[in-house]
Structure 1
C-alpha cells in the first residue's frame, strides 16, 4: 500500500483514503501468508537438512541451492508480521525498527533469490554446454566467492528500502501503518522521490528483467544443445526430456511468481510519477498488489520443489532423513543435479560428433 504513506510521521491525511482496503484482502491474504510460511519453512528446512546431512558441499549446484534455501528462510520469518499487518486492516503494531527490517528483508530476499537462480542457471549452462572448458571456473571456491558477492550486493541494494520505511499514523482511519517516508519539506521530498524512483527501477531491472533475460538465454542455449545431442544419441531421449522438463519448470515458476507483481509494480511507479492524484487508478493497483505479492511470495515454496524434490537422489536422501537414517561414513555423496551433470559429458561428446560429421561431409 504505497499510497498510504505520504506525509509526516506525526499524523497524515490521505488524498485517496485507505485505498485497497477490503475485507476479502484482510481475510484471504493472512491465510495465504500462513500457508506460505508453513510450507516454505518445512520445504526449505528439508532442503538445508538434506544437503547438510547427506550431501557434501563439493558441487557448485549444491552450494547455490543451499544458499537459495537459506535466503528463502530469512524472508519467511517476516511473514507472520506481514500476515498480522494485513489481518488487522493494515495496522502495524511492531514498531519502527521491525518495519524497516521487515521491508528490507523482503527486498533482500527478492535480490538474493533471483541472483542465486541466475547463478544456478549459468552454472547449468556451463555444466551442460561446456562441461570440459568450464571445469576451471566451476569450482567450490568460485561458487563460495560468488555466494558472498551475491549476499553483499543484495544487502546493499536492500538497504535504501529499509532506510526509506517507517511507521506512520493515518488520521483518516486512526491507524498506524508501515510505509514509505515522505517529508514535508519540499527539498527533502524531492530527493526522497528521486531515491524511491531509483529503488523501484532497480527492483524492476536488477530484480527481474535482467536476470530473467539471462535465465531465458541460458536455458535456450541448454535446450538447443540437448536437442542437438539427442539427434546423435537416441538412447538418452528420456534423460533429455527429464532435464528439459526440470529447466522449463524452473523458468515457468520464476516467471509466473514474479511476473504479475512486477507488472503492477511498474504500473505503481508510473502512477506515482504521472497519475498520483487519480484515486480510481490508485484503488485498482492497491487492490491488486496484495494478491500479486502473495503469488510472488509463493516462489519461496516453489524453489524447494523445482530445484530439490524433482531430483531422484534428493528424494532418496529425503526419505533417509525422515527415517532418521545415519549418514554413511564412506562413499560418494550424490549431487542434487547429478542427472544433469552426468548427462553434460554425453552432450559434449554428441556435439563434438555432430561437428566432426559436418566437417567430414564438407571434405567429401
Structure 2
C-alpha cells in the first residue's frame, strides 16, 4: 500500500491494489499476536515485579533489564489493536490518534529494545574484559542516566513515524486503514524522501549499527575468556557456558529481527524506484506480517534469555508467586541470570590472570 491517487468519491485509489490480502493472514496473524501478547505481558510483568520487589535496582544489569521489560510492556499493549486490524481484513476502527500512537510505539519499542540490548552487551563487555577499570563507570547513577538518554533518543527517532502514519479511506476495497501512503500531490517528492530517510534510519540505527556493536562486544568477550582459560583451567566449563549464553542472546536477537529487516530493506528499495512493480509489492506485503510477528516475538524471548534461566531469578519468582515478603537481598543482588553470574566468575578468572602476570613480573 504505497502509491495512491485521489478517487472521484473522495477516497483513495491504490495503483497496485491492496496486496497481501489473504484469508490465512487474517486468521493466523491475530492468533500469533494474541499469543505474543499473553506470553509477553506475563513474562515481562514477572521480570518487573521480581526485580522491583526482590532483586532491587542496585546493579547496572538489573536497571537495564528492568527498562527493557518496561519497554516491551509499552509495546505489547498495542498488540490487541494490531490483532483487530489484521482480523478485520486491515480495517482500522480506532481513529487517527491511536493509529499514530500505536505506530509510534512500535518503532519506539524497536529502538528502546535494541538500545537496551546494546547497553547490556557493553556492560557485559566492561564487566568481563575490564572488571577493575570499569568499576567507576558501571555505577547505578551512570546506568540510570544511560536509560534516560535511551528513552529520550528513542522517542525522538519514533516521532517521524507517528507523524507520517494516519487513517486513510480506500475505495477498492471500501475500507479504512492505518498506514503510510504516498500521495500524488505537490509534496510527493518531499514526502518520499522523508519516508526513505525514516526507513533507512530504522535499518541502520534500529538494527545494523547496534548489531555490529553487540557482535563486537561478544567477540571481544569470547577472545578474553578463551585467553583466560588457557591459564585458569578450572574455569573452562564455566567459561564455555558463558559463551553459550552470550551466543543464545545474539542468536535470539538475530533470528527475531533479520527477516523483518530484510523485507523492510526491500520495501525501501521499492519506495526509491520510479516505476512500480506490483508483483514485488505483493510478495513484500504478504511476507511482512509474518516477519513482523517474528520480530514482535523478541519481546517474549527477552525475559527468557535475560531472566528466567537464572537460578536466583527463579527462586525470587517462586517467592513472588507465594506472596512471600521481600527480605534483605542476598550477597550478590543482581539479575543473576547464567550470563550475569558466570560473567562474574569469568571476571574473577581474568583478574586472577592479571594478578598472575603481575606476580611473574615482580619475581
TM above 0.5, yes or no, is: yes
For 1:128 and 1:7, the matched residues in 2 are separated by 57
Matched, 1:111 2:121: no
The residue that corresponds to 1:259 in the other structure is: 258
Give the RMSD, CA atoms, in angstroms: 1.9
Deviation at 1:351, TM superposition (A): 3.7
For 1:159 and 1:118, the matched residues in 2 are separated by 22
Deviation at 1:348, TM superposition (A): 2.3
Unaligned runs of 5+ in 1: none
The residue that corresponds to 2:25 in the other structure is: 25
Deviations 1:43-71 (A, max 9, x none): 00000000011012010000000000000
Which residues of 2 match residues 156-175 of structure 1 at below 5 A?
Answer: 156-175=156-175
The residue that corresponds to 1:237 in the other structure is: 236
Which residues of 2 match residues 1-364 of structure 1 at below 5 A?
Answer: 2-3=1-2, 6-7=4-5, 10-186=10-186, 188-274=187-273, 277-329=276-328, 331-332=330-331, 334-337=333-336, 338-352=340-354, 355=357
Evaluate the alpha carbon distance shift between residue 194 and residue 61 of structure 1 in structure 2; reply closer, same or farther with a 3 A threshold. same
- Answer whether contact 1:129 1:347 (CA < 8 A) is retained: no
For 1:357 and 1:180, the matched residues in 2 are separated by 64
Query: Helix, strand or coil for the counterpart of 1:13?
Result: strand
Deviation at 1:16, TM superposition (A): 1.1
Query: Helix, strand or coil for the counterpart of 1:208?
Result: helix
Using the size of structure 2 for normalisation, the TM-score is 0.94
- Answer whether contact 2:218 2:246 (CA < 8 A) is retained: yes
Deviations 1:150-193 (A, max 9, x none): 0000000000000001001110100100011434422x121111
Query: Helix, strand or coil for the counterpart of 1:20?
Result: coil
- Answer whether contact 2:235 2:346 (CA < 8 A) is retained: no
- Answer whether contact 1:104 1:161 (CA < 8 A) is retained: yes
For 1:354 and 1:71, the matched residues in 2 are separated by 43
For 1:65 and 1:171, the matched residues in 2 are separated by 46
Query: Helix, strand or coil for the counterpart of 1:168?
Result: strand
- Answer whether contact 2:54 2:329 (CA < 8 A) is retained: no
Deviations 1:82-128 (A, max 9, x none): 00000111000000000000000000000000000000000000000
Deviation at 1:8, TM superposition (A): 5.7
Evaluate the alpha carbon distance shift between residue 291 and residue 329 of structure 1 in structure 2; reply closer, same or farther with a 3 A threshold. same
